[in-house]
Structure 1
Amino acid sequence: MAHIDYFFATISPFTYLAGTKLEDMAKKHGATITYKPMDIMGLFARTGGIPPKDRHPNRQEYRKQDLVRRAKLLDMPLNIQPAHWPTNPAPSSYAIIAAQASGSGDVGALVHALTRACWSEEKDIAQDDVIRDCLTAAGFDASLADSGMLQGAETYAANLEEAVNRGAFGAPFYITDDDQRFWGQDRLMDLEAHLEGRI
């Protein structure tokens, strides 16, 4: 059975635009997924990336145009400048870590609910009430927002170290059990081709 380690950031618009395609693909091909939320700014700093606000204006403008095009092609609502972005991604990431450890609910739906809350619904995903609502909508107990903070912090930090050590440099980033790496939601078709043995 194939396995995919999914490195992502809850404040990444491209993680939002990935939707639940990874989960659909994994189900179709009998693959498993481990969700690894990480500190994207920490990853940029460690791997030569530059936070969006510090990029050259040409790159910033292209990013905006590309996000608008991606969203339209995917028929997904997107606010190019959300009211609560950037925000602290740690609380939502800790909730995902706790949810995955609980073994109940739908982790993929939780990731998408949180990223959608940020990029489409004008909600601050650092706030407990938003996180609780997303947990509940994905079939988890809302109290997971308050549990396992120390474990969440340790895992969150470990996910960043693992991402760096395994060659990730952006989000979303997918790494298969045979060390094939795919960066960006626009490479999900390539990941599927790999799962099918075509590449």
Structure 2
Amino acid sequence: MAHIDYYLGTISPWCYLAGDRLERIAARHGATITYKPLDLLQLFDRTGGVRPADRHESRMAYRAQELPRWADHLGMPLTLRPAHWPVNMAPSSYAIIAAQARGGDVGGLVQAFLRAVWAEERDISDDATIRAILTEQGFDAGLADSGLFIGAETYGRNLEEAVAAGAFGAPFYIMRETDQRFWGQDRLDFLDRALAAA
């Protein structure tokens, strides 16, 4: 059975625009997914990327055109300048890590956090918001409080694993068995093909 490591940032617009396509692709091929939320800004720092705040104005101007284009293409609502962005990714990431250890629809939870930023203008660094999203997605709101030490440890380890595995942005998908790497929601079709061929 194929397995996909999915490196993500809970404030990434490109992770948001991936929607549930990864989950649908994995289900079609009987593949499993491990969600690996990490500090995306530190990943940029560690792998030669540039944080959005430090990018050249021409890159940011292009981003301002490209994000709405993709949102329109995918039929997804998008607020280009969310009220709560950027925010600390750690609390929402810890909740995802705790939920994954507990079991359930982790993909749906990941998408709910991303949708909260880019379509609903909610602050995913706020404890009350995190607890509400957990509840809305069928998880125990107490996961926001439990396992904080393990969450912090796993969150840091995910960054180290991403760097070692060759990830440098998000969304980043790696087929564990073949080390095939796919960067960006616009590469999901290639991941689909690779899984079909595996």
- The aligned counterpart of 1:134 is 133
- The aligned counterpart of 1:83 is 83
Deviations 1:36-65 (A, max 9, x none): 000000000000000111111000001111
Shift, 1:156, TM fit: 0.2
Deviations 1:45-93 (A, max 9, x none): 0000001111110000011111010000001000000000000000000
What is the identity, as a one-letter code, of the residue corresponding to 1:48? G
Shift, 1:139, TM fit: 1.6
Q: Secondary structure at the match of 2:197?
A: coil
- The aligned counterpart of 1:193 is 193
1:176 & 1:86 partners in 2: Cα distance? 29
Shift, 1:137, TM fit: 2.0
2:132 & 2:20 partners in 1: Cα distance? 18
- The aligned counterpart of 2:112 is 113
Matched positions, count: 197
- The aligned counterpart of 1:11 is 11
Shift, 1:128, TM fit: 1.2
What is the identity, as a one-letter code, of the residue corresponding to 1:101? A
- The aligned counterpart of 1:35 is 35
What is the identity, as a one-letter code, of the residue corresponding to 1:18? A
2:195 & 2:126 partners in 1: Cα distance? 37
What is the identity, as a one-letter code, of the residue corresponding to 2:55? R
| TM norm structure 1 | 0.97
1:53 & 1:128 partners in 2: Cα distance? 25
Of all paired residues, the percent bearing the same amino acid is: 64
In the alignment, structure 2 segments of 5+ residues that lack a partner are none
- The aligned counterpart of 2:95 is 95
Q: Secondary structure at the match of 1:122?
A: coil
2:95 & 2:3 partners in 1: Cα distance? 22
| TM norm structure 2 | 0.98
What is the identity, as a one-letter code, of the residue corresponding to 2:126? Q
Shift, 1:174, TM fit: 0.1
1:138 & 1:106 partners in 2: Cα distance? 8
- The aligned counterpart of 2:55 is 55
1:160 & 1:108 partners in 2: Cα distance? 19
- The aligned counterpart of 2:74 is 74
Q: Secondary structure at the match of 1:6?
A: strand
2:27 & 2:135 partners in 1: Cα distance? 22
1:134 & 1:28 partners in 2: Cα distance? 27
Deviations 1:105-155 (A, max 9, x none): 210000000000001100000011211121112221111011100100000
In the alignment, structure 1 segments of 5+ residues that lack a partner are none
